[in-house]
Amino acid sequence: MSFSSFGLHADILRGIKDLAFTHPTPIQAQAIPPAMEGKDVLACAATGSGKTAAFMLPTIHHLMNRQPQQPRRMARALVLTPTRELATQILDNLNSLAVHTPISGAAIIGGVSMGPQAHAFRTGTEILIATPGRLLDHLRQAYAKFDGLEILILDEADRMLDMGFLPDIRRILKMLPVKRQTLFFSATMPSEIRQLTREMLKDPVTIQIDRQTTPPAAITQAIYPVAQHLKSALLIKLLENQGLESVICFTRTKHRANRLAATLTKNHISCAPIHGNRSMAQRSSALSGFKAGKFRVLVATDIAARGIDIADVSHVINFDCPHIPEDYVHRIGRTGRASATGDAFTFVAPDEESNLRYIEKTIGKRLPRVTLPDFDYAQKSVESLEIPIEQRIAAIRQRKAEERARREKNNSGRPDANGHRSFGRSADSDAPAHTGHHPRGGHFGQRSAGARSGQQHSNAPRAFGTRPGGQAGQAGHPGAAQPGRRFGGKPNHPRSGPSRAGGVPFWQQRGEAGQAGRSRSGRRGSR
């Protein structure tokens, strides 16, 4: 079977020829014909089986051969995918397949500016490839409309479930047209995903490609038993072998990825971390630098295990043994791609032996154990990647105690000239002690007892041109009367000293002083 047998548009076949694709993969052979007929498709196939072309080829063909139902500028196809890297990779594949067609695409992903993405919405880019979170950000805006949507594609649906995107997907579905074609692709079918397919699909053509539970034969696998605290030292020892040219090293957590990358850099090994806490620019830089050979080691969490196609990866090292056998297969599948050979090493600490037994049971064979003859397995730990839980708790408690002491010190400062303490809570009371001066005079949040009870103050209103609480303006004095000013001087400031006349706050005197000012000159007294 060849791609020409599907009846694809001639311009699409030109793009396929440029990519040197000769024969479709099993998932492509089974998914493309019903998708081209406009039917819903439910496909279960492993990562790396060619799913991107399986849904992108019929989508491009459909958009080229059918006039848009909506004349307005709107997206006609939407691809939802779990990660930014996978969205970018799908866009690259789209651009390659549609290079001879007028079909355009754009990635709607986080970590980058929303401006160009909003422009893609407004100009009617045909195919949008989006991560759920960033798409919801756009859907809150008036320009993001999908009234003309014809095709919806979900890629790596089970991975989106693992990442907690299922509620976001349901929110997105409520904003999409009910009448559409839906192509649903997933590597596994947990119960939540099956329920989602029942909600989304109408009489779908179901395709089941046997999951790859065993890694390709071209990948040589080995287990390195090692204590948890010696994993870094063992990795550095292995990297002394220059045969490990390009290595993806998988860690369990983002924190361990960062610390391992710092350790390798300290030992003059070029590397870059990639995980969910890195910005889009950092992740793109890490991937491009690794592909170009700038970085010898890419330290990654499982974000890079699914769907990311990096050619010429010589070795995959599981720094932490995966909990799930499918993750093991996905990880080591980053090497030995396109009929090439590769090596996969897995470091297994004593507390990870149960994970290893589960993996060996799934793949149906026992993996060889390897020890390095010139490595000291009895050495003490030089640097720990994982801070013990007791130490982390103690550090958190100490930090909170220091913050509490700092707040108490700031809130119980020395009294000022009026006997008032600084802003915040009183040192000897649990009640708020807002006794500092307001920039316009008086207390924050408080009024004097006389003001609350309606009593009148006996203090005489200050004369025109005087400073609050001061004497009549004198030449050269900051409070001297100035033309065109009703009151001399400035409102009091916390750093400028007392602001009272006989103990009455300035802001409480403004009414009386204003009355005196208005009646004095007759300018306002007659009103």
The residue whose two tokens read 């350790």 is 263
Are 148 and 184 in a shared domain? yes
Which domain-ending residue is among 208, 242, 258?
208
Cβ atoms of residues 62 and 152 within 8 Å:
no
Are 224 and 320 in a shared domain? yes
pLDDT of residue 396: 81
Are 319 and 464 in a shared domain? no
More confident: 78 or 302: 78
Is residue 416 included in any domain, yes or no? no
pLDDT of residue 290: 92
What φ, ψ does residue 166 adopt, rounded to 5°? -60, -45
Are 181 and 229 in a shared domain? no
Cβ atoms of residues 408 and 433 within 8 Å:
no
- Smallest CA-to-CA distance from 30 within 183, 213, 180, 160 is with 183
Are 119 and 155 in a shared domain? yes
pLDDT of 169 over the 70 cut: yes
Tens of pLDDT, residues 402-429: 888 888 877 765 555 555 554 444 333 3
Are 252 and 289 in a shared domain? yes
Which domain-ending residue is among 157, 175, 208?
208
Is residue 15 included in any domain, yes or no? yes
CATH value at residue 325: 3.40.50.300
pLDDT of residue 325: 86
Q: What percent of the chain has pLDDT over 90?
A: 46
pLDDT of residue 279: 82
Cβ atoms of residues 12 and 103 within 8 Å:
no
Are 144 and 108 in a shared domain? yes
Span 301-324, average pLDDT: 81
> Which H, E and C letters describe 347-361, residue by residue?
EECHHHHHHHHHHHH
More confident: 85 or 505: 85
Overall number of domains in the chain: 3
pLDDT of 305 over the 80 cut: no
CA angle 89, 91, 97 (to 5 degrees): 105
Q: Please, which pLDDT band fits residue 464 given cuts at 50, 70 and 90?
A: very low
pLDDT of residue 501: 44
Are 201 and 289 in a shared domain? no
Is residue 496 included in any domain, yes or no? yes
Are 267 and 187 in a shared domain? no
295 in helix, strand or coil?
Answer: coil
Tens of pLDDT, residues 387-396: 666 776 787 8
Are 38 and 172 in a shared domain? yes
415 in helix, strand or coil?
Answer: coil
Domain around 104: 3-208
Cβ atoms of residues 330 and 206 within 8 Å:
no
Is residue 400 included in any domain, yes or no? no
pLDDT of 475 over the 90 cut: no
pLDDT of residue 429: 37
Which domain-ending residue is among 155, 188, 208?
208
Alpha carbon distance 153, 94 (integer Å):
14
Tens of pLDDT, residues 115-167: 999 999 999 899 999 999 999 999 999 999 999 999 999 998 888 887 889 99
Alpha carbon distance 212, 96 (integer Å):
27
Is residue 478 included in any domain, yes or no? yes
In this structure, the number of other CB atoms found within 10 A of the CB of residue 207 comes to 18
More confident: 208 or 354: 354
Per-residue CA distances from 211 to 139, 161, 189, 329 (Å): 35, 18, 11, 10
Q: Please, which pLDDT band fits residue 237 given cuts at 50, 70 and 90?
A: very high
Alpha carbon distance 500, 20 (integer Å):
87
- Smallest CA-to-CA distance from 358 within 331, 330, 332, 322 is with 322
Span 87-97, average pLDDT: 94
In this structure, the number of other CB atoms found within 10 A of the CB of residue 507 comes to 18
Are 153 and 230 in a shared domain? no
pLDDT of 439 over the 90 cut: no
Q: Please, which pLDDT band fits residue 66 given cuts at 50, 70 and 90?
A: confident
Alpha carbon distance 77, 12 (integer Å):
17
Alpha carbon distance 493, 20 (integer Å):
76
Alpha carbon distance 342, 314 (integer Å):
5
pLDDT of residue 389: 66
Is residue 369 included in any domain, yes or no? yes
Is residue 433 included in any domain, yes or no? no
> Which H, E and C letters describe 296-350, residue by residue?
CEEEECHHHCCCCCCCCCCEEEECCCCCCHHHHHHHHCCCCCCCCCEEEEEEECH
Span 16-23, average pLDDT: 88
Are 159 and 191 in a shared domain? yes
Cα within 13 Å of Cα(411), Cβ side: 17
Cβ atoms of residues 213 and 263 within 8 Å:
no
Is residue 266 included in any domain, yes or no? yes
